[in-house]
């Protein structure tokens, strides 16, 4: 029905859920993959190859009808093996499946024709031999009038072509026919099967030559077919390997994607945790925050009353009133900025690519913590490098790290019994490690046991701590490619410090 040129199709693998077939044509080697359901078999009908880039070229080369035929065959066989039913264990063993389904490596020869077509093929092969010998006979018959001796080499040609096209059987058939025809028409006495004594050697030589020609042609054909088959097998194996590689590639990609997704989820929950911890810390700082808000508000209210007085005076002191209003604006603006800083600390948003001036971050926090420190009569000071390069990262997260360290220092001092109550925040810059920020306190210090576990989640030395601060801080610092560690301070207390790579290094 359809004209199919030389194809070989092989089942490369059939697994629990997927099948892969390889299809080789004169020009292409194509892999098809699909899902083992009856719908997928339907999809084989031209669709299964749709996701390979060569699909279009393939279809253009062969015509979709040809492909449809191949696909239909494969589909038919797959359907057959599916309908027989497979146990679960078979499904993973492609050789068992192909064996039970009668689907061992299909290639050009055993896929070429269904049984009905085989008969047609036989007829065609022998018919070709008859026609060729007939043709040789006709030509030789005509040539007899031009040459004194019969020219028999055309029969050799007919035999060779028949053997080439139809194989050994057709070749021998052609030899038989040629022998009969030659004996009858061209060997004296003519028009009789009798051979006279003088012609026996001549006739014998003809028959031998015909047999040899047939044998040479047929065996050459066989060799070619064997070569071709070997090539097919090789290509199928290559296809199998390619399919296996592609599958493991896909697996790898899936694993990587899963990993990536896992990382994403982890980052997200870390960010949420950090936000929560930030909110908790800010909760501890409410009285300081209130104080920080109250100062400018107090100034605004007092200035407001004063302004009222200046205007109510007789005569009104406009100059002083104006000056007072200027102060009101200044202090009101300051209150707004305090609020903005607080909101920033509470913010859930992150901006990982910012350029962060760590000195600024520290000074901003000092404002919030100053009141807290005053309340416990702790001296809070900063010793900042005058020219500190900006760090690249998330300002809020980095601020959170410094805040955590400073809050810890405050707590450590309150837990301690030392006379000196001092916290010093330092920044420094050096080429080897970049920016270093250290928070030094004269507090209770770290025991050996605490020092080993202090960065573990849920480890805390505070009576009401949750043990997340340092763990979060360390993960923040590490995500900025820095390092966070703790050392004991000479003379009591501890030093917590972290490094951040310089901006140009962070980009590497």
Partner 1 sequence: MTEAQPFIFVVDDDSAVREAVGNLLESVGFRSQSFASADEFLRACRPDAPSCLLLDIRLPGVNGLDFQEVLEKSGVRIPIVFITAHGDVPMTTRAMKAGAVDVLTKPFQKDELLTAIRHALDLDNAARAEEAEVSKVRARYESLTNREREVMDLVVTGLMSRQIAMQLGITEITVKVHRSRVMAKMEAASLLELVRMSERLKPKPRR
Contact positions vs partner 1 (CB under 8 A): 287, 290-291, 294-303, 305-310, 313, 320, 324, 327, 330-331, 334, 371, 374-375, 377
CB of 360 vs partner 1, minimal distance in Å:
21
CB of 416 vs partner 1, minimal distance in Å:
20
Task: Show the tokens assigned to 142.
Answer: 């005509």
Nearer residue to partner 1 within complex by CB, 26 or 314: 314
CB of 315 vs partner 1, minimal distance in Å:
14
Residue with tokens 């000071």: 381
Q: Rounded CA gap, 159 and 180, in Å?
A: 13
Residue with tokens 């192909």: 98
Task: Show the tokens assigned to 146.
Answer: 């031009």
Nearer residue to partner 1 within complex by CB, 89 or 377: 377
**CA-wise closest residue to 346 among 286, 406, 411, 293:** 286
Nearer residue to partner 1 within complex by CB, 117 or 375: 375
Nearer residue to partner 1 within complex by CB, 320 or 503: 320
Nearer residue to partner 1 within complex by CB, 283 or 353: 283
Q: Tell me if residue 382 falls in helix, strand or coil.
A: strand
Q: Rounded CA gap, 214 and 172, in Å?
A: 7
CB of 299 vs partner 1, minimal distance in Å:
4
Nearer residue to partner 1 within complex by CB, 216 or 306: 306
CB of 276 vs partner 1, minimal distance in Å:
26
CB of 404 vs partner 1, minimal distance in Å:
24
Task: Show the tokens assigned to 167.
Answer: 């194989």
Q: Rounded CA gap, 175 and 181, in Å?
A: 10
CA dihedral in degrees (297, 301, 307, 313; nearest 10)?
A: -160
Angle at which helix 286-312 crosses helix 318-346, to 10 degrees, equals 160
CB of 465 vs partner 1, minimal distance in Å:
24
Nearer residue to partner 1 within complex by CB, 251 or 383: 383
Nearer residue to partner 1 within complex by CB, 47 or 323: 323
What residues contact residue 423 under an 8 Å CB cut-off, 6+ apart? 373, 378, 379, 380, 381, 406, 409, 410, 413, 439, 440, 441, 442
CB of 273 vs partner 1, minimal distance in Å:
30
What residues contact residue 381 under an 8 Å CB cut-off, 6+ apart? 422, 423, 424, 425
The CA radius of gyration of the chain, in Å to the nearest whole number, is: 47
């Amino acid at each position: 029905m359809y004209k199919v040129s030389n194809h070989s199709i092989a089942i490369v693998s059939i697994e629990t859920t997927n099948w892969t077939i390889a299809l080789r044509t004169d020009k292409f080697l194509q892999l098809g993959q699909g899902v083992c359901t009856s719908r997928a078999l339907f999809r084989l009908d031209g669709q299964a190859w749709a996701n390979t880039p060569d699909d279009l070229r393939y279809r253009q080369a062969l015509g979709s009808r040809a492909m449809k035929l191949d696909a239909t065959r494969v589909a038919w066989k797959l359907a057959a093996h599916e309908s027989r039913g497979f146990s679960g264990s078979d499904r993973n063993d492609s050789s068992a499946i192909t064996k039970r389904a009668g689907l061992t490596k299909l290639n050009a020869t055993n896929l070429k024709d269904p049984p009905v077509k085989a008969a047609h093929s036989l007829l065609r092969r022998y018919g070709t031999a008859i026609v060729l010998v007939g043709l040789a006979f006709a030509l030789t018959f005509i040539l007899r009038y031009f040459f004194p001796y019969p020219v028999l080499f055309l029969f050799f040609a007919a035999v060779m072509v028949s053997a080439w096209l139809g194989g050994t059987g057709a070749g021998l058939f052609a030899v038989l026919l040629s022998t009969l025809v030659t004996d009858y028409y061209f060997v004296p006495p003519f028009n009789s099967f009798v051979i006279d004594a003088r012609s026996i050697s001549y006739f014998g030589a003809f028959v031998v030559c015909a047999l040899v020609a047939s044998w040479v042609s047929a065996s050459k054909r066989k060799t070619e077919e064997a070569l071709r088959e070997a090539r097919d097998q090789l290509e199928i194996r290559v296809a199998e390997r390619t399919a296996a590689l592609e599958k493991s590639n896909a697996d790898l990609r899936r694993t990587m994607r899963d990993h990536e997704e896992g990382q994403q989820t982890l980052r997200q929950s870390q960010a949420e945790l950090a936000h929560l911890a930030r909110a908790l810390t800010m909760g501890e700082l409410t009285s300081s925050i209130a104080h920080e808000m109250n100062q400018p508000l107090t100034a605004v209210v007092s200035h407001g009353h004063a302004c009222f007085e200046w205007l109510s005076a007789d005569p009104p002191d406009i100059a002083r009133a104006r000056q007072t209003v200027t102060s009101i604006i200044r202090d009101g603006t300051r209150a707004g900025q305090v609020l903005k800083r607080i909101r920033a600390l509470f913010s859930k948003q992150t901006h990982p690519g910012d350029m962060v001036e760590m000195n600024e971050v520290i000074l901003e926090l000092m404002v919030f913590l100053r009141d807290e420190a005053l309340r416990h009569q702790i001296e809070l000071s900063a010793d900042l490098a005058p020219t500190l390069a900006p760090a690249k990262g998330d300002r809020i997260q980095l601020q959170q790290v410094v805040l955590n360290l400073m809050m810890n220092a405050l707590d450590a001092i309150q837990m301690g019994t030392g006379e000196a109550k001092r916290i010093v925040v330092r920044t420094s810059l050096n080429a080897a490690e970049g920016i270093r920020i250290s928070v030094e306190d004269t507090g209770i210090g770290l025991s050996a046991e605490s020092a080993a576990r202090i960065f573990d989640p849920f480890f805390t030395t505070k009576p009401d701590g949750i043990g997340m601060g340092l763990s979060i801080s360390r993960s923040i610092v590490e995500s900025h490619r820095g390092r966070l560690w703790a050392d004991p301070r000479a003379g009591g207390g501890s030093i917590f410090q972290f490094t951040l790579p310089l901006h140009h290094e962070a980009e590497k």
